[in-house]
Amino acid sequence: MNIKILKKLAIIINLLTGFYSLLMISILMCFYRFDLGFYQLFSLFFSSLLVISIKNIVKKERKDLTLNENRAFGNKYSFPSGHTASLLSFAIIFFYFKNNSFIIFLVVLALVIFLKIYTRQHDFVDISCGILIGFISSLSSILICKSIFPNIKTLIESFF
């Protein structure tokens, strides 16, 4: 495969699976099914907090030598993979709600993992830690949201 084509594909996938894209999906999901959207938002913020904290503690530089130093916050460090953590946490939340969309997120996750390793943005350890964070953040979010969601739902319904 041509590395230039894969790098362009990686840029597109990064934009489609980044924090702001997943944030928009979560917010839109709140209008469709509030409980699912709320769990997604909680899991996204929790996984992002973990990833950003670990990136700034470990400070492992990316192996990709074409890195632009003017990238957004958090993108110059590779460990752990934030895209992997966020996508896996979304897939697990969808799976928890018995929504078949989790399959889409798993397929996209497999593509992201391949592209991240192939374009040398991440290595196996970065991806593995991202997977671990995805599991931790989604399962923790499910446990926390199960206990606080009824109160939040009641509070929101009182406004409408």
Listed residue (5, 14, 1, 2) closest to 116, CA to CA: 14
Burial of 40 (0-12, 13-18, 19+ CB in 10 A): buried
Mean pLDDT of 82-111: 82
Answer with the residue of higher pLDDT: 146 or 139. Answer: 139
Listed residue (132, 126, 133) closest to 64, CA to CA: 126
Distance of alpha carbon 29 from the chain centroid: 16
In a domain, 111, yes or no: yes
Please report which confidence band the pLDDT of residue 73 belongs to, taking 50, 70 and 90 as the band edges.
very low
Mean pLDDT of 64-88: 65
Mean pLDDT of the chain: 78
Q: Which amino acid is at 160?
A: F
Count of residues in the chain: 160
- Classify 75 as helix, strand or coil: coil
In a domain, 71, yes or no: no
**Domains identified in the chain, total number:** 1
In a domain, 153, yes or no: yes
In a domain, 70, yes or no: no
Alpha helices in the chain (DSSP H): 3-16, 19-32, 34-58, 82-96, 102-118, 124-159
In a domain, 30, yes or no: yes
Please state, in angstroms and rounded to a whole number, the distance separating the CA atoms of residues 40 and 141: 8
Residue 69: other Cβ atoms inside 10 A: 6
Least confident of 36-40, 52-56, 80-84, 152-156: 152-156
In a domain, 57, yes or no: yes
Domain that residue 12 falls in = 3-65+76-159
Q: Which amino acid is at 150?
A: P
Listed residue (26, 42, 29, 22) closest to 109, CA to CA: 22
Please report which confidence band the pLDDT of residue 65 belongs to, taking 50, 70 and 90 as the band edges.
very low
In a domain, 27, yes or no: yes
Is the per-residue pLDDT at 133 higher than 90? yes
- Show the tokens assigned to 120: 């040398």
